[in-house]
Amino acid sequence: MKRRIGIAIMSSFSVLVAGILFTNVLFYVASKPYIYSTPDTAPSAEVALIPGAALTAHQTPAPIFIDRVNTAIALYKAGQVSKILVSGDNGTLSHNEVNPVKRYLLSQGIPEQDIFLDHAGFNTYSSMYRARAIFGVTSALITSQAFHLPRAVFIARSLGMQAFGVRTNTKHILFRNYIREIFADEKALFDLVFHTQPKYLGPTIPITGDGRNYP
């Protein structure tokens, strides 16, 4: 009996590991042709999409977040995108990932009318889903780190966007970022397969409009 239980546990564990490996390889292989190492090698698109990330204790974007924002700024100033969409978690009054980024973008000379904020981008899937469903984004350059881009690009393209990834600075990546990504891929695949809707949708905000009308 103990031997059969041990075999069953080992078999279940092997299936779990195989499923995790399959999903991670799928995301990596499928998205690789659409990921660019530098802004100047990336194609043009409608919008630069900045996925949310951590804030500092002073409620300013953490270095890993700033790296994403700076890449979006480079794309905008090079004329490769005409709008910037900042997506992040604003689930409580005390936690707002998007407004600090807007202030930083304005300080770097980005016109307010070209900045759009998604306050309900609670995770990568929600950010990509809402970019398409709420903001009407058809093509995007997603600015993020190498560990995150395969998942972001895979989700965005699966949801119907002509999406590409642009790698940002890698010096602020921590080992735990890679570990977290291993399991985040499985959640993303589940959401795609079962057509999960984000926690919040709401009225449309055309990305082709004026960002000053949508604070």
Q: Strands of 115-118's sheet, edge to edge? A: 35-36, 162-167, 139-144, 47-50, 83-87, 115-118
Q: What is the mean pLDDT of the chain?
A: 88
Which range is least confidently modeled, 31-35, 49-53, 149-153, 169-173?
Answer: 169-173
Q: Are 125 and 157 in contact (CB under 8 A)?
A: no
Per-residue pLDDT at 134: 97
End-to-end alpha-carbon separation of the chain, Å? 63
**Angle in degrees, CA 205, 210, 213, rounded to 5:** 70
Specify the pLDDT at position 163: 98
- Would you place residue 5 in the very low, low, confident or very high pLDDT band (cuts 50, 70, 90)? low
* Listed residue (186, 140, 166, 198) closest to 24, CA to CA: 186
177 pLDDT tier (thresholds 50, 70, 90): low
What's the whole-number mean pLDDT along residues 153-175? 87
Average pLDDT over residues 103-115: 97
Closest-CA residue to 112 (of 131, 79, 86): 86
pLDDT of residue 76: 98
> What would the two tokens of residue 27 be?
């995301």
Residues 4, 16: Cα–Cα separation, whole Å: 18
Residue 186 has pLDDT above 60, yes or no: yes
What average pLDDT does the segment 81-87 reach? 98
Alpha-carbon gap, residue 55 to 82, rounded angstroms: 26
Confidence at residue 185, expressed as pLDDT on a 0 to 100 scale: 87
> Is the alpha carbon torsion for 100, 105, 108, 113 positive or negative?
negative
User: Domain 2-213's class?
Assistant: alpha beta
> With bands split at pLDDT 50, 70 and 90, how would you rate the model's confidence at 89?
confident
Query: By the 8 A CB rule, do 26 and 153 touch?
Result: no
**Whole-prediction pTM:** 0.88
Residue 169: predicted pLDDT: 75
Asked if 54 contacts 66 with a C-beta cutoff of 8 angstroms, the reply is no
C-alpha R_g of the chain: 18
Lowest mean pLDDT among 61-65, 77-81, 123-127, 175-179: 175-179
| Residue 13 confidence (pLDDT) above 90 | no
3-class secondary structure, 97? coil
pLDDT band at 79 (very low <50, low <70, confident <90, very high): very high
Phi-psi region of 101 (alpha: psi -120 to 50; beta: other; left: phi over 0): alpha
